[in-house]
A and B are shown apart, each in its own frame.
Chain A
Amino acid sequence: MTELDRRQFLARTALGSAGVIAATGLGPLAAEAVAARGDVAPGERDPNFAEGKILSIDGGTLVVSSSDLLLQRIQVTSGTTFWKLHETTFDDARVDDRLYARGVPADDGTFLAERIWVNIVNLHVALVGIASDRLQLDHPGGRLVGHVVPDTVAVYSLGPPTRDLSRLRVGMHAQVVGAWHPDTDEIDIATIYS
């Protein structure tokens, strides 16, 4: 599908109301299917990427303030997929959530989203405390509480994802993918790689 075809397709599938996520001609975008499209010169800003804080949700449109304080309208389509700790739907998006998105810019300046990650973080941390329901994490940005939730899995070197967190030890370095609780020092842990 060419860039123009994708833009036209996404524009036609733009949601008119919030909370309607349906199977479409695109189908669910599998994790590895969110791929590079179009040429972006190395080092340059990616026009197919957006980020920021959700200021308002109106039907299928998110008004987002980027970290550079630029306002952007992000249009959700019936093909848009969402991640917020796990695969979910547009219904779970909230004002003040932060997001990253991939999609295509439309001619009117709206960003037509294909994939949105809400509050996602990917942090190199050191484990400084372990309890059954939470981990204390040291990060260059400060101390964090990492909540262990039903979705939490650990991936140990050479192993598949597991719910068994018993091999984690204080002092270990780990990479944590999770969902930040906006404006706090807490995250919910999706995956901890150690």
Chain B
Amino acid sequence: MACGTNLVVRGLSTWFCCGNAWGPCGATGHGACGTCNSGSHQCAWPNASDACKSITRPQDCGLSLPRETCGHTFYVTNRCNSHCVSVRVADCGPDTNSFCNQQHCCGSICGNNRVIDLTASAFSAIADLSTGIRPVRVDN
């Protein structure tokens, strides 16, 4: 899958579960868009709506993220291995302001701030789930 070339932001990505799920996320539901499922290539975006942005508050971390609503397609590249996945916005998140300026690296490649969350299937397509967090590049 080809990646986009219009850079939106660089930062950190984690993964999450949604839809019918097991374990502590069993009560998560289908996300803010009502379509989210762990087995589908989807994401959570911090500026999916006014209500979403009022919770995630990326501006508190100095980020100006564009408004992209349910169904928008992003191309997310794991900067540790250059693997890419295309995903559609299906939820609001991550809670960016809870982790302002947090930085994590793989070798010399580092990312700052939580900018996007991927479903388990999407994250596992570009990284190992056990790594938990990866520096990524997000493109349109």
Using a Cβ–Cβ cut-off of 8 Å, how many residues does chain B contribute to the interface with A? 57
Q: Restricting to B51-106, which residues have a CB under 8 Å from any CB of A?
A: 71, 73-74, 78, 80-81, 83-88, 90, 94-95, 98-99, 101-106
A68 on the B face (CB < 8 A): yes
- The answer to whether residues A158 and B37 also contact, given A43-B87, A122-B14, A141-B25 and a CB cut-off of 8 A, is no
Instruction: Name the distance in Å between B91's Cβ and chain A's nearest Cβ.
Output: 12
Q: State the CA gap A67–B27 with chains docked (Å).
A: 12
Q: Restricting to B10-28, which residues have a CB under 8 Å from any CB of A?
A: 14-16, 19-28
The reply to whether A36 and B22 contact each other, CB–CB distance below 8 Å, is no
The reply to whether A67 and B120 contact each other, CB–CB distance below 8 Å, is no
Interface string of B38-58 (1 = CB under 8 A from A): 111110000000000000000
B136 on the A face (CB < 8 A): no
The reply to whether B23 and A67 contact each other, CB–CB distance below 8 Å, is no
Q: State the CA gap A140–B41 with chains docked (Å).
A: 23
Q: State the CA gap A40–B129 with chains docked (Å).
A: 18
The reply to whether A41 and B39 contact each other, CB–CB distance below 8 Å, is no
Interface string of A30-64 (1 = CB under 8 A from B): 01111110011111111011111100000000000
Instruction: Name the distance in Å between A190's Cβ and chain B's nearest Cβ.
Output: 7
- Chain B residues contacting A100 (CB-CB under 8 Å) are 38, 120, 124, 129
Interface residues on A, range: 35 or more
- Chain B residues contacting A42 (CB-CB under 8 Å) are 41-42, 73-74, 86-88
Q: Which of A16-24, A112-120, A162-170 contacts B (4 or more CB under 8 A)?
A: A112-120
Among residues of A, the one whose C-beta sits closest to the C-beta of B40 is: A45
B122 on the A face (CB < 8 A): yes
- The answer to whether residues A43 and B101 also contact, given A32-B128, A100-B124, A141-B26 and a CB cut-off of 8 A, is no
Among residues of A, the one whose C-beta sits closest to the C-beta of B75 is: A42
A124 on the B face (CB < 8 A): yes
Among residues of B, the one whose C-beta sits closest to the C-beta of A144 is: B24
Q: State the CA gap A62–B3 with chains docked (Å).
A: 35
Instruction: Name the distance in Å between A54's Cβ and chain B's nearest Cβ.
Output: 11
Q: A36-B84, A42-B73, A193-B104 are in contact. List 10 more A-B contacts (CB 8 A).
A: A32-B83, A32-B131, A34-B124, A39-B1, A49-B39, A49-B124, A67-B20, A121-B23, A185-B24, A194-B102
